[in-house]
Amino acid sequence: MGYLLPGGKQAMTTTNVSQATMDLIQRAIAEDLAGGEDVTSVSTVDAKAVATAHFSARNEGVIAGLDVARATLESLHVTDIQLLVKDGDLVKAGTEIMRARGLTRNLLLAERTALNFLGHLSGIATLTHVWVEAVAGTKTKIRDTRKTTPGLRELEKYAVRMGGGENHRMSLSASALIKDNHIEAAGSVSGAFQSVRRAFPDIDIEIEVDTIEQLREILEHRPDLVLLDNMSPAQCAQAVALVAGRWKLEASGGISLDSAKAYAASGVDYIAIGALTHSAPVLDIGLDLKAEI
């Protein structure tokens, strides 16, 4: 799929922007025009007018999505573009992050789509950074979930990586995650685990448990990862001691920034936070236009 396959904290480049992302950009611009034209710009801006657009962060945050914004501009024939920071950079309020020169009408048409991507993805990266800082000094990693905006999963998970977090599975086919409803359907934790292992012997299996008793039940099965759902830090510490490093443990559910350090201190390997993608506030990024006389 291009630049958004799971990986480390590595910024994308325009040459690697996926076709799926280009399709998103085209749909966003088409949505803005709704089959017509930008009536305000056509009425007020000469067709040959040229300007420079200055993109700046109005609040402190971690930047993500610069190349999506650049691809948006390039799709409208704006090619004189400077990226002044990199995805993953923590910038102060007032920092200019990108500059683009081209036909004024084209810049104005690209403006909202470019800012929507930048603000949304930078907001995710910024919130992820806050969570990562909350557990700094421990071995615990912050991970996302599949609670992503439909159609934007790859972009949003990319933004998580730019904030210093890690990605959980990208899709239902990437690995197995046995949750409470699967356990209910199968009749037991053991039954669900054994069914997946028989059907897909080579796939990684994560299993969700709600109690220490459920955790004891699966000790003999050797899952790759166990999700400790809605357990307290004390229960997580008990689980860590019980598992004794035989597989990875992930805490999820009911965890706040205030309690993150306590969960990390329990010794779990991961903390899964759905809010990284479903509740991140947009980072305020603005565009100021400077017309050429």
CA distance 263 to 282: 27
Which residue from 44, 42, 101 is spatially nearest to 74, judged by alpha carbons?
Answer: 101
Q: Pick the closest to residue 69 from 17, 137, 130, 19 (CA basis).
A: 17
Beta-bridge mates of residue 166: 143
Place of tokens 């990586």: 161
147 is catalytic: yes
Q: How far apart are CA 148 and CA 156, in angstroms?
A: 7
Checking DSSP bridges between strand 96-103 and strand 176-178, what pairing results, if any? unpaired
Q: Is 139 a catalytic residue?
A: no
229 counts as catalytic? yes
Question: Based on C-alpha coordinates, what's the Rg of the chain?
Answer: 23
Backbone angles phi, psi at 80, to 5 degrees: -90, 85
Exposure of 33 by Cβ count < 10 A (0-12 exposed, 13-18 middle, 19+ buried)? Answer: exposed
User: In angstroms, how far is the first alpha carbon of the chain from the final one?
Assistant: 43
Decide if 87 contacts 64 (C-beta within 8 A): yes
- Per annotation, catalytic residue among 9, 101, 146, 147: 147
- Residue 212: what residue type? I
| Active-site choice (74, 144, 229, 269) | 229
208 is catalytic: yes
Q: Of 9, 101, 112, 261, which is the active-site residue? A: 112
Choosing from 9, 179, 248, 261, the catalytic residue is 179
**Exposure string over 44-58, b if 16+ CB within 10 A, otherwise e:** ebeeeeebbbbbbbe
Dihedral in degrees, nearest 10, Cα atoms 191, 206, 218, 135: -150
What amino acid positions are annotated as catalytic residues?
A: 112, 147, 179, 208, 229
